Structure 1
């Protein structure tokens, strides 16, 4: 089935989707040397079959309800968590929902799904493909890590009665391949640094490719602001923003004192997207030790965030996410890798949910600026595809139901 590439947009029907880097898109925005995902593959996942999505610094999925925007982001987040070392049971709480609806069980009554991605970086493009069995029991039954046409790691389930897969990785020493069992509930690529000695050129190549993939996958912040949780005062804590932005007021209190330049940009964003005069955005500590968020109107009047509409709260929270970063988000960064070599990615399903046209335009333009600088990457889903071209440099993926 054909794929059209027009002005940086990729139109993909619900079956047999395939996309390379769209013509007219800007670069991926990542500084040289930073591993980053450039493609997401859903070979068989939920409503997707044989699909490949290009990923840029700013990627926007558009399409009608039911076209698969949310499931694409869910697959990305799942790969990120597996890359961070999470068990398959922690990642897929409802694995049967990930199995394509028309997938038939085999003779052993097994059904599953397949996902994958490509990470670019110093080692060039590195591909990871993972097969997960959802029924009758959840386990990773196959994995392949490859680069430059060479398979660096491959696993397969040989004995269904035992809780491990047989793994083989490239050695290029006296023995071209090393074989050993790996647990069937973890991503083998994330375990390689604990298993590969790195004594031969081949082993070092395997380790470098695995590290590039893991660094590209980790440090993902899945964000879905919940206005109903953002209105009340909250206790002071770590000051790290939760995925639902429940503790927005606490983070406002922290960031206002730590980075005046970024805070000024947040105030400018609030001024553009919130009703009325906005002189400042403040986290105000109350007598009981909790902190509430307020808009300072500049005339000794302060409006509690609890009085704002859902759209205003989501807009304010998403603006804060785009303007902060790893020291503020509640994420588990790759501690052994310098921050300068990591690429931080925001996953935002329903990016424009509840926003009016003006807020939507302001938010997309802010996202475009921050992603172009290489500050962050953003993969978001928007319900309304009109006007997304206003977010300059975006990779826009149009899905069809």
Structure 2
């Protein structure tokens, strides 16, 4: 594996810079499926490149799993097929136990904060170890002491009359997300633990996994379906809602669509059909409108990605940290098979759009591509090469 990290873009914005927004800057797959001792540096825009079987989708799946755990989901909700996450050829121990290990680093106001998680997949699915560290100091550590009990023993930094506080925590959820309920915040040490845990949770919470499915985007969809789904099936309904919510962002979407779709584009709109459904259309500006049903796979995938990059958590099916102001959060988009059906012009236009949004601190974009030679040396783009 090799990484190409060119200089960050110099685009400025009056909004808070990325540096004060918590964000994940490294993904670690210590032992996960086909990955062992792997670490991926993540920039505002990161392309995971490699042939089929290199583990690009696996890396994105691990990132999404951490995000869901950071959002408070139970481990059995996150890993529906945990055995598939166990490293290749891993053998069970004397107690028939097998598992996997993943982690990440989140940068933000507290500096780099590391989270490492050990999950037992067999015979029972549970979190058996967790460590939260900052500047070399262990802020939280958990370990499974008694396999017969459904809990782990936790110890967190206190720096008061006692250096650490010990207590049991459930083995089905991430301890980092439970700390605000257990730590009083009375000592400097406790406040440091809470700040680091909050930074990690905020960095992980706002993640949107996106893999548009053109076959479903062509059909009319029910109105009022809510926020955009990961497969972008309800794109037309979301357009119906967003077209009038923010004229400036919609104008940017129209401009981006014109750069990636064939023929002139003067508007992107949705048309109610009178039966409770709505369909998407491209306005050609000459009285002719092209329904989404007539667009190619590449055009629809391009349009969906452009909409995602130009919107935010209020439009997408994500669960951001509601107690943290939006100005302090960054949305991370995970795009598997990003270059599928896209021609060179479309993938370049979308990457440039991701770089522009990333420079403002709104968006971080992690995408899997078969080949990233076209993006090498692009300002604001980090290319990680994975070998099968």
TM-score class, shorter-chain normalisation, is: over 0.9
Aligned to 1:120: 107
Runs of 4+ in 1 over 3 A off after TM superposition: 27-30
Report the CA distance shift for 1:104/1:27 in structure 2 as closer, same or farther (over 3 A): farther
Question: Which residue of 8, 14, 24 maps to 1:26?
Answer: 8
Report the CA distance between 1:28 and its aligned residue: 11
For 1:66-115, what per-residue CA distance to the aligned partner results, in whole angstroms no more than 9, with x for missing partners?
01111111100000000000000000011111111111111111110000
Report the CA distance shift for 1:144/1:386 in structure 2 as closer, same or farther (over 3 A): same
* Distance (Å, rounded) in 2 between the aligned partners of 1:158 and 1:251: 49
* Distance (Å, rounded) in 1 between the aligned partners of 2:39 and 2:283: 46
TM-score in terms of structure 1 length: 0.93
* Distance (Å, rounded) in 2 between the aligned partners of 1:28 and 1:238: 39
Report the CA distance shift for 1:4/1:380 in structure 2 as closer, same or farther (over 3 A): closer
* Distance (Å, rounded) in 2 between the aligned partners of 1:283 and 1:144: 48
Aligned to 2:14: none
For 1:128-163, what per-residue CA distance to the aligned partner results, in whole angstroms no more than 9, with x for missing partners?
000000111110000000111111110000011110
Higher deviation after alignment, 26-35 or 90-99 = 26-35
**Aligned partners of 1:28 and 1:57 also within 8 Å:** no
Residue pairs, 1:1-400, within 5 angstroms: 9=4, 22=5, 24-26=6-8, 30-237=17-224, 239-389=226-376, 391-400=378-387
Report the CA distance between 1:238 and its aligned residue: 5.3
For 1:218-243, what per-residue CA distance to the aligned partner results, in whole angstroms no more than 9, with x for missing partners?
11111111111111111221542111
Report the CA distance between 1:4 and its aligned residue: 5.1
Report the CA distance between 1:392 and its aligned residue: 2.7
Report the CA distance shift for 1:303/1:4 in structure 2 as closer, same or farther (over 3 A): closer
* Distance (Å, rounded) in 1 between the aligned partners of 2:319 and 2:110: 24
**Aligned partners of 2:106 and 2:203 also within 8 Å:** yes
List alignment gaps of at least 5 residues for structure 2: 12-16
Equivalent pairs, count: 383
* Distance (Å, rounded) in 1 between the aligned partners of 2:33 and 2:48: 16
Report the CA distance between 1:31 and its aligned residue: 2.6
For 1:14-63, what per-residue CA distance to the aligned partner results, in whole angstroms no more than 9, with x for missing partners?
xxxxxxxx4x3427995332111111111000111011110111111001
* Distance (Å, rounded) in 2 between the aligned partners of 1:288 and 1:184: 48
List alignment gaps of at least 5 residues for structure 1: 10-21
